[in-house]
Structure 1
Amino acid sequence: MTLNVLMLSTLFPDISRPNFGVFVERQARELASRPDVNVTVIAPVGLPPWPLSLAGRYAPLRALPAKERWRELTVYRPTFPIIPKFGGRTNVSTMTRAILPLVKRLHAEKPFDVIDASFFFPDGPVAQRLSKALGIPYSVKARGADIHHWGTQKSTRKLVRYAAEGAAGLLAVSDAMRRSMARMGIDADKIRVHYTGVDLDTFEIADRAAAKAALGFSGPVVLCVGALIPRKGQDLLVRALPALPDMTLLLAGQGAYRRTLENLAQDLGVERRIGFLGSVPHHKLPRIFAAADVMALPSESEGLANAWVESLACGTPIVITDVGGARELLDRPEAGRIVDRTPEAIAEGIRATLDDPPDQQAVRAAALRFTWAANGNTLLAHLQGIVAASA
């Protein structure tokens, strides 16, 4: 019997944002590749009301097709109105109203069996409303900020809780995330740990010296992969640089925090040892990982960062803070170090790793269990179980 899945995701790549939600897309493709599974993706696009929507930064989003084939997937991109910086709670109702006619039409043509919401907010509460309208069960996945931020904000935490209560099943990107959800009062028995995957053929070991030479680097290189936002802690890495005088720091990511980091680097006199790489296309990340001796990401919160797993798959050890699934991932000393969230501790962890570099194959071994096949198997079993229980 064919399983017909409606995947709802506000985190999904498009031609203007190829790195946006790339792991959700890869998960969708893995599920859709299975026999007797149909996946339809609805990736709503938020736009402010006219005339704000005419601003130049929204032009790429306005130009997106309402429906397209995206890497073997049928993807619908309905638009819904948002209030920039102040939307929050209102996004749930505006998104639901905008996409419900489309969802009802698709359901009438070929009934969906289950809704898979890829993020807890606003996707989860919207999935709850769609579920009620269609009379089918839904699942929601918790990834990190959706619980740590939206699940704690006064204006949205009740919506997150209600979505969890109404779901037939829940997913968490790590066991640590599962425990965080349980502390919020979410039923832990409904939560299944669903680890991310990594393409082990793309993210693989390469010669580090050759990779450095190809990119024009010499000496120790530390890489940080993540959006340039305060929560990721790039400022702590900049502050650690004076204690690492021979090191080059590469920051792969973009965000409004860049100006603050540039000013901080100038104040500390380390601006010549920092490379701002911007948003690196996902398929080009392996060569950056290959050139790095260490990948450091001193986040304030995480679920289980994909950059952690990708770095290990490339044989590059990581220095990270004790957040999310860090201890689940670092199951062997070669994989990296967990450090306190201070510049001094971060510098010490990086220096210790540089002074005693682990074997690249031993580092990679820590990532071998994070395959997309395992990810797809878990998701398929989860959704099939939900449908069977609701029959």
Structure 2
Amino acid sequence: MQELLNEKYDDISILFISSNYPSADRPYHGAFVQQIVKAIGRKGVKCAVISPVSIFSLRYGKYPPKISYEYIDDNKFVKVLRPKYISFSNKKLFIFNTKYITQKAYEHSLSLALSLLDFSPTIVYGHFLYESGAAAVRMGVRLGVPSIVAVGESSFWSVEPVGFHKATEDFSKVGGVVSVSSSIKRSLIKQLKIPEEKICVLPNGVDLSHFYPRNRNEMRRKYKFSPHKFIIAFVGHFNERKGPQRLLSAASDMENTGIIFIGDGSIPLESKNILFKGVLEHSKIPEILSAADIFVLPTLSEGSCNSIVEALACGLPVITSKGEFNDDIVDDEVSIRVDPKNIKEIKDAIMKLYNNNELREKMSANALRKIKKYDINNRSQKILDMMAELKKHSNFNKQISTALPVGTLIKKEK
């Protein structure tokens, strides 16, 4: 079967463009992009990544190597190129925005890196709208191949500096769009005028060979957590949108409770209830999640939240926000939905699970059943099928994308 799949994709070679991609000093940065690259690479498809690095990124650690190779499996590797570019940010100067210069510098670095590829791409895939998505569309036109843009932003903040009129032009020649939620799809149609038939809704996936429940007691011993505490896990940036401070306020006076905060950010978090606070390698996250009893994320907005999907894969009951941005990935069987700004609602939901072990076990079992739908291998398969059809039916003789209605290729799962 695998050989047949490989033959189906023999003529596909993918260039991934993403400013978010893990490095030694930022192992969590863009891990979701790396997962899809590796899932597709495991199917025998030729892949390469160009992840431009701003020269001002030294505040995050030393520059990653310009050329590196990532092991996938069975002697398969992905070449990762990290050319440097100068970011001029997105400052408004009278009627001009420096975002335009940043975009040009970004795309110039991509052009320089092209010569270092080991193959000629037949598909260009850009992750997020700017800078990578717009660059992927232009690169596809330049190379005479289709482009696909994956859109997972919780809002179109990267579009605002260039304006929606310019963005509509920039994405007019995109071959297809992978939207991580139904709500984002609606925004793409309304605000960027992207035809509905070009958009496939595919929520983020998770590598179930990596994210699965470990033995809770063993993980608590490994991370030196008490076997008797009720432990809450949080994964995300420490900022207002993600809401770690709202979780901390809700759980501040709860007895026999500990909180794990995985991430970093500008909001200071201090409490005697904090068991762990900081960044972890992505490979360690399923271990520490397995030490927890529940997962809480009172977020104000999301695209398709990777950390929720990963928590479900580890069998954790989830407390998260009401809002259409979460509707594609959670329901009442696996989660309690709350007003993310209402501390009392968050606390009441925590107490409901704290006091009901039977409910926690039921939600955990439901989570492990539900998460099979979000297997990264299934998602990568659908993206590859989309690419194969797009490549087959696209006409780039005049370097203009006339894509097949790719949205018809992905049947909605119930």
Q: TM-score range by the shorter chain?
A: 0.7 to 0.9
Is 1:274 the equivalent of 2:274?
A: yes
The aligned amino acid for 1:25 is Q
**Deviation (angstroms), 1:18:** 1.4
Match of residue 235 from structure 1: 245
Using the TM superposition, give the Cα deviation of residue 317 of structure 1 relative to its aligned residue in structure 2, in angstroms.
0.7
| Amino-acid identity (%) | 23
State how far apart, in whole Å, the 1-side matches of 2:318 and 2:265 are.
22
- The equivalent residue for 2:74 is none
Deviation at 1:325, TM superposition (A): 4.3
Write the distance in 2 (CA, Å) between the matches of 1:242 and 1:15.
34
Normalising by structure 1, report the TM-score. 0.86
Alignment of 1:219 onto 2:229: yes
**Which stretch shows the higher mean deviation, 211-220 or 121-130?**
211-220
Q: Are the equivalent residues in 2 in contact too, given 1:144–1:301 (CA < 8 A)?
A: no
How much has 1:89 moved relative to structure 2? Answer: 4.0
Unaligned 5+ runs, structure 1: 263-270
Further displaced range: 128-137 or 381-390: 128-137
Assess, with a 3 A threshold, how the Cα gap between structure 1 residues 45 and 101 changes in structure 2: closer, same or farther: same
1:377 is aligned to: 381
- Provide the rounded CA distance (Å) in 2 between the counterparts of 1:136 and 1:150: 25
Q: 1:85 to 1:221 in 2, by over 3 A?
A: farther
CA distance in 1 between counterparts of 2:210 and 2:146 reads 36
Shift of 1:238: 1.8
Superposition pairs for residues 59-208 of structure 1, below 5 Å?
60-61=62-63, 64-71=64-71, 72-83=77-88, 86=91, 88-103=99-114, 105=115, 110-145=119-154, 147-151=155-159, 153-184=160-191, 185-208=193-216
Cα distance between partner residues in 2 of 1:251 and 1:283: 16
**Counterparts of 2:253 and 2:90, CA distance in 1:** 38
Q: How many positions carry a matched residue from both structures?
A: 367
The residue type equivalent to 2:213 in the other structure is I
- CA–CA distance in structure 2, aligned partners of residues 296 and 142 of structure 1: 24
- Distance in 1 separating the partners of 2:261 and 2:367: 22
Segments of structure 2 that go 5 or more residues without pairing to the other structure are: 1-9, 72-76, 92-97, 396-414
Indicate conservation of the 8 Å contact 2:49/2:79, yes or no.
yes
Structure 2 CA distance for aligned equivalents of residues 116 and 43 of structure 1: 12
Task: Confirm whether residue 366 of structure 1 aligns to residue 370 of structure 2.
Answer: yes
Q: Comparing 343-352 with 271-280, which one deviates more in the overlay?
A: 271-280
* TM-superposed deviation, 1:222: 0.9
Taking structure 1 as reference, are residues 166 and 77 closer, same or farther at Cα in structure 2, changes over 3 Å only?
A: same
- Cα offset for 1:165? 2.2
State the match for 1:45 in structure 2.
53
Q: Distance in 1 between matches of 2:52 and 2:289?
A: 32
TM-score, normalisation: structure 2:
0.82
Q: Structure 1 or 2: larger helix share?
A: 1
Is 1:22–2:47 an aligned residue pair?
A: no
Cα distance in 2 for partners of 1:25, 1:110 equals 20
Give the Cα separation in 1 of the matches to 2:150 and 2:285: 26
Contact 2:86 2:106 in 1 (8 A): yes
TM-superposed CA distance for 1:133, in Å, is 2.1
Q: 2:59 aligns with which of 51, 57, 60?
A: 57
Q: Which position in structure 2 is the counterpart of 1:283?
A: 283
Distance 1:160 1:216, change over 3 A: same
Report if the CA contact (8 A) 1:177-1:324 is conserved.
Answer: no
Map of 2:400 onto structure 1: none
Equivalence for 2:336: 337
Q: Cα gap change, 1:247/1:163 in structure 2, threshold over 3 Å: closer, same or farther?
A: farther
More off after superposition, 13-22 vs 235-244: 235-244
Partner of 1:298: 298
CA distance change for structure 1 residues 70 and 159 in 2, over 3 Å: closer, same or farther?
farther
How well do the aligned residues superpose, as a CA RMSD in angstroms? 2.3
The 3-state SS of whatever aligns with 1:11 is coil
CA distance in 1, matches of 2:60, 2:165: 30
What is the rounded CA distance, in whole Å, between the counterparts of 2:278 and 2:124 in structure 1? Answer: 35
Give the Å deviation of 1:69.
0.7
Deviations 1:81-118 (CA, angstroms, capped at 9, x unpaired): 01357464432111112221332x357x7432121112
CA distance in 2, matches of 1:249, 1:314: 17
Q: What SS is found at the alignment partner of 1:57?
A: helix
**2-side partners of 1:355 and 1:158: how far apart?**
53
Please tell me whether the aligned partners of residues 207 and 377 of structure 2 are also in contact (alpha carbons under 8 angstroms): no
**Aligned partner letter, 1:328:** D
**C-alpha displacement at 1:158, in angstroms?**
4.1
C-alpha displacement of 1:346: 0.9
Do the aligned partners of 1:298 and 1:320 also contact (CA within 8 Å) in 2? yes
- Pick which of 84-93 and 176-185 moved more: 84-93
Q: 1:24 to 1:293 in 2, by over 3 A?
A: same
**Partners of 1:205 and 1:315 within 8 A in 2:** yes
Matches of 2:287 and 2:233, distance apart in 1: 12
Q: Match of 2:233, SS?
A: strand
